[in-house]
């Protein structure tokens, strides 16, 4: 990753610092998912230091009939009456509330809205649709507890695999005729199970972090049934027009050096084709995951600011 002339200098410097601190990052998952989770926690810890201080940060458990999951509520100073359900990335296998703590705090601060993150169940121990069911059950819990939380409007957002879950949640809720999220925001989302796009083939060798081989492993662990991946709850960009139209006020952000870049481009195109007004931004000199680098990267701060502003305006309009 480091030293590539295409990459924003601050992001390249961060990659070099990671290399110095931790050694080469794995470009695909090892055989032990638990070890992969611990490795990501270790590598992300320094980038979660500092950042905005919330008026309240509350950790608690969400109890559902057959399971409990961790949740974290972020309340910025002067919070409005909106709440964003945030679903973290990590290929449905790694990632946690802690790996995405600063990123979520940044979005909460910049938007002036409450954010709720959840520690949804992970593959391979809990393959599809476990993570999506956790997100859907959390959404229903939010609707039932709106008054207690002091909110009236809700949106959904996520990064990478979390954006995949967020899009699937929004379309599933909308298709069921239930109140849909006021907005959907994605940071370099996974929107298709196709691994043969131009960006996968050009950017997927691991030079920029995330690799095509790594995404292949993530897909195999999350949904071993290759045929099932064509459905919109796994590949949102393959949704039909009726399903796409349930996605309200979408915002899509892509990174130019990301193998997933074309997922966002395709999602934008199918939404626009379905008549859905869609906000889109692309950061050509950034890689997958760069929004974790808000302490050093101007592009990360700008990307988070744009997503937060979109959510803030959408919640005010609803």
| pLDDT one-digit tens code per residue, 234-251 | 999 999 999 999 999 999
Quote the number of domains for the chain: 1
- DSSP letters of 147-181? HHHT-SEEEEEEETHHHHHHHHHHHHHHHTTSPPP
The answer on pLDDT for 168 being more than 70 is yes
Q: Is 3 within the bounds of a domain?
A: no
Q: Is 118 within the bounds of a domain?
A: yes
Q: Is 213 within the bounds of a domain?
A: yes
Q: Is 105 within the bounds of a domain?
A: yes
Q: Of 14-28, 37-51, 124-138, 225-239, which gets the smallest average pLDDT?
A: 14-28
The answer to whether the beta carbons of residues 252 and 189 sit under 8 Å apart is yes
Would residue 220 show up in a list of annotated catalytic residues for this protein? no
Would residue 66 show up in a list of annotated catalytic residues for this protein? no
**Burial class of residue 114 (count of CB atoms within 10 Å of its CB; 0-12, 13-18, 19+):** buried
The answer to whether the beta carbons of residues 237 and 197 sit under 8 Å apart is no
First-to-last alpha carbon distance for the chain, in angstroms, is 41
Q: Is 1 within the bounds of a domain?
A: no
Among candidate residues 258, 263, 285, 292, the one labeled active-site is: 258
Among candidate residues 88, 111, 159, 160, the one labeled active-site is: 160
Q: Is 4 within the bounds of a domain?
A: no
Among candidate residues 88, 100, 285, 288, the one labeled active-site is: 288
Q: Cα–Cα distance between 51 and 295 in angstroms, integer?
A: 7
The answer on pLDDT for 5 being more than 70 is no
| pLDDT one-digit tens code per residue, 288-306 | 999 999 999 999 999 999 9
| pLDDT one-digit tens code per residue, 175-216 | 898 889 999 999 999 999 999 999 999 999 999 999 999 999
Domain containing 284 equals 9-317
Q: Is 292 within the bounds of a domain?
A: yes
Q: Cα–Cα distance between 255 and 287 in angstroms, integer?
A: 5
Q: Is 2 within the bounds of a domain?
A: no
CATH number where 186 lies? 3.40.50.1820
Q: Cα–Cα distance between 278 and 266 in angstroms, integer?
A: 12
Would residue 288 show up in a list of annotated catalytic residues for this protein? yes
């Amino acid at each position: 990753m480091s030293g590539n002339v295409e990459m924003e200098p601050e992001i390249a410097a961060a990659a070099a610092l990671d290399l110095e601190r931790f050694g080469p990052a794995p470009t695909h998952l090892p055989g032990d998912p638990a070890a992969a989770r611990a490795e990501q926690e270790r590598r992300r810890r320094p980038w979660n230091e500092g950042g905005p201080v919330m008026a309240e940060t509350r950790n608690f458990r969400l109890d559902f009939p057959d399971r409990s999951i961790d949740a974290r509520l972020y309340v910025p100073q002067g919070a409005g009456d909106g709440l964003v359900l945030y679903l973290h990335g990590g290929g449905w296998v790694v990632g946690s509330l802690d790996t995405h703590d600063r990123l979520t705090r940044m979005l909460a601060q910049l938007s002036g809205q409450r954010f709720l993150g959840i520690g949804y169940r992970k593959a391979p121990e809990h393959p599809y649709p476990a993570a999506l069911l956790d997100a859907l059950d959390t959404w229903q819990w939010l609707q039932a507890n709106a008054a207690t939380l002091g909110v009236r409007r809700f949106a959904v957002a996520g990064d990478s695999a979390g954006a995949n879950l967020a899009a699937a949640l929004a379309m599933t809720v909308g298709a069921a005729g239930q109140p849909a999220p006021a907005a959907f925001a994605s940071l370099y989302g996974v929107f298709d199970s196709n691994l043969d796009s131009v960006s996968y083939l050009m950017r997927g060798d691991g030079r920029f972090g995330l690799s095509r081989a790594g995404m292949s492993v993530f897909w195999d662990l999350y949904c071993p049934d290759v045929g099932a991946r064509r459905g919109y709850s796994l590949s949102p960009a393959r949704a039909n027009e009726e399903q796409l139209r349930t996605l309200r006020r979408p915002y899509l952000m892509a990174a130019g050096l990301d193998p997933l870049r074309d997922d966002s481009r395709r999602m934008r195109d199918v939404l626009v084709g379905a008549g859905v007004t869609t906000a889109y931004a692309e950061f050509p000199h950034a890689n997958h995951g760069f929004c974790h680098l808000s302490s050093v990267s101007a592009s990360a701060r700008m990307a988070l600011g744009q997503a937060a502003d979109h959510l803030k305006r959408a919640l005010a309009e609803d």
